[in-house]
Amino acid sequence: MKDFQIIVAAATSIILFVFGLENFSKEIQRISGESFRKFLASATKYSSLGILIGAVVTAFIQSSSATSIIAISLVNAGVLSFKNSVGIIFGSNIGTTVTAQLVAFKLTAFAPAFIILGFLLNFIKSKYSVFAKSLFYFGFVFFTLNLISSTLAPLQNDERLIGYLTADHSPLVGVLIGFIITALVQSSSVTTGLAIIFTQQGLMSLENAIPVLMGANMGTTVTALISIINMDIAAKKTAFAHFIFNLGGVLIFLPLVWWLGKDFPLLSDTPAIALANFHLIFNLTTSVFFALLINPFTRIIDNFMGEGKMDFERFDLNFLHSSQELEEDFDLEAKLREIAMSSYDFIQENYNLVTLSIETNYKGVYEASKKRIDYFDHVKAELMKFFSNHIGECNDEEEIARIVKIMGIYEYIFQIHDSIKDLTSLKETMDANYIDLKSDLLLIIRELSSETLSLFEKMSHKEAITKDSKRVSNEYQNELNTFNRKILAIMAQSERPDAGTMLHMITYSQRLKDKLIKYHELSAPQPEAS
């Protein structure tokens, strides 16, 4: 009966620990909000910085699974590239070592102070009240670890349990146990905390606890692997990289643990601290090893899994979030014009994909275009926020005039982008109403998209403004009028709902033409004087 009470008390404590950990993670993500995701997206240009970010974020939210899922969702949304996400994944494992160190050095004794502080802040109406729940749950997490330790204390006198947990076991069995426990509770912190508490109380030998920690790292990948079922290949590559990374760490260290056994250098004679040190050494070494091989590592995964719809080149927007006035050699105007030209080329390809999806009715092409459009929505929001802030900080009237001129170029880029989004709504209407285009309309769409792509080229930043520009515009308008008459003739036939839908495409193309011409007038090189 006594054993049953201990098991129930321990299980309850573990459930409370998992509850606290989950809610603490949610609170941190709620406080940080969208800015947290934008920070991850903009600050991962270099893998070393990505590793640092992954480590810091995981240390704060106490969940490497949450960090990896955030990274995967950003890849799936097109905000983060697969290669840039890998650094965050590597760093997330380092961040989990903070929990182990806190438990090992018994700093959990300060848990009640955080609970009380969080509780009091909840009643004090101030700007700091937003941190009330996160502080409460932070203290709650470590308080429940103390609770687990207290409920398991009577087991120190159970010779049968001590004999089993301290007896020599195959490291493979330990890895499997750690993997299963972590996969079930969806948190390596739970497995790590339990292993250290068991070691502190003498219930588990150090040799048996070390493989459990390695298995816990592999168990964290289960959450990510489950989350990618309906995601793009790029997101699946991130999750797969997470699994291979953790598996690789186990394959590297398991022979060393097997071979060295008790002689493994852990920098402490205290079992719990030695175990926490191993956790740090294991994760830090694995992360550094894979970081040094990040290029061949990502290439292998790219070659194995192929390209996804999110595997397109992202814009370098890091300059939007840094203080460039401190860098005298930085040419903001040139950088903004460079991004504008890249944006134009990017949305031209978006138009190609959208019209191709309407023509072919191929779902994969449409999904690719939609992802790219969603990504450019993110770029648009970032640039608009930058312009709004930068204009307010400018004191030089000449600089304001230059920036306003560039803003005008971007305004038409954004309007072109919005017109292409209108075309995606046309595709969605067709799908919702099960409208299939017949061959006569497919031919019109093919000709119209070809003419529009030609107009994109002629109205681009690469072409100088000439007297022919107006002629090109008129020729395109004549083509639109011809296509319009053809569609109206088809509409006169009975039972042709597809023609009515396609009439909207002429309207969207008209708007697109007007915006392309305005963009050309603002961005194209001026003709040389004769």
Mean pLDDT by 10 residues, the chain (530 residues): 72 78 66 59 69 80 70 70 82 79 65 84 76 81 73 64 64 86 73 81 82 86 69 78 90 83 68 84 88 87 69 71 54 84 89 85 77 84 84 75 86 91 83 80 87 87 66 86 86 75 83 88 64
Q: Which long-range contacts (CB under 8 A, 24 or more apart) does 193-196 make?
A: 193/17, 193/99, 193/100, 193/103, 193/145, 193/148, 194/14, 194/148, 195/275, 196/100, 196/103, 196/104, 196/272, 196/275, 196/276
Token pair of 43 as six digits = 């600050």
pTM attached to this predicted model? 0.57
Q: Which of 180, 182, 181, 193 is nearest to 17 (CA)?
A: 193
Helix (H, G, I), strand (E, B) or coil at 169: coil
- The end-to-end CA distance of the chain, in Å, is 102
What is the structure's pLDDT at 326?
41
CB atoms within 10 A of CB 278: 24
Residues 6+ apart with CB under 8 A from 139: 110, 111, 112, 113, 114, 115, 116, 117, 118
Residues 6+ apart with CB under 8 A from 61: 24, 25, 28, 29, 67
User: Could you give all domains of the chain from N- to C-terminal order, each with its CATH number?
Assistant: 2-305 (no CATH), 318-523 (1.20.58.220)
Given a contact cutoff of 8 angstroms between Cβ atoms, the answer to whether 380 and 450 are in contact is no
Which single residue is written with the structure tokens 């299939």?
436
- In sign, the C-alpha dihedral spanning 230, 236, 238, 244 is positive
Helix (H, G, I), strand (E, B) or coil at 133: helix
Which H or E element spans position 112? helix 111-123
What is the structure's pLDDT at 228?
67
What is the structure's pLDDT at 414?
93
Residues 6+ apart with CB under 8 A from 522: 405, 408, 409, 412
- In sign, the C-alpha dihedral spanning 183, 184, 186, 192 is negative
What is the structure's pLDDT at 413?
92
Q: Which of 358, 317, 308, 324 is nearest to 338 (CA)?
A: 317
Rounded to a whole number of angstroms, the CA Rg of the chain reads 29
SS3 per-residue string spanning 177-231: HHHHHHHHHCCHHHHHHHHHHHHHCCCCCHHHHHHHHHHHHHHCHHHHHHHCCCC
The DSSP string of 403-459 is HHHHHHHHHHHHHHHHHHHHHHHHHHHHHHTT----HHHHHHHHHHHHHHHHHHHHT
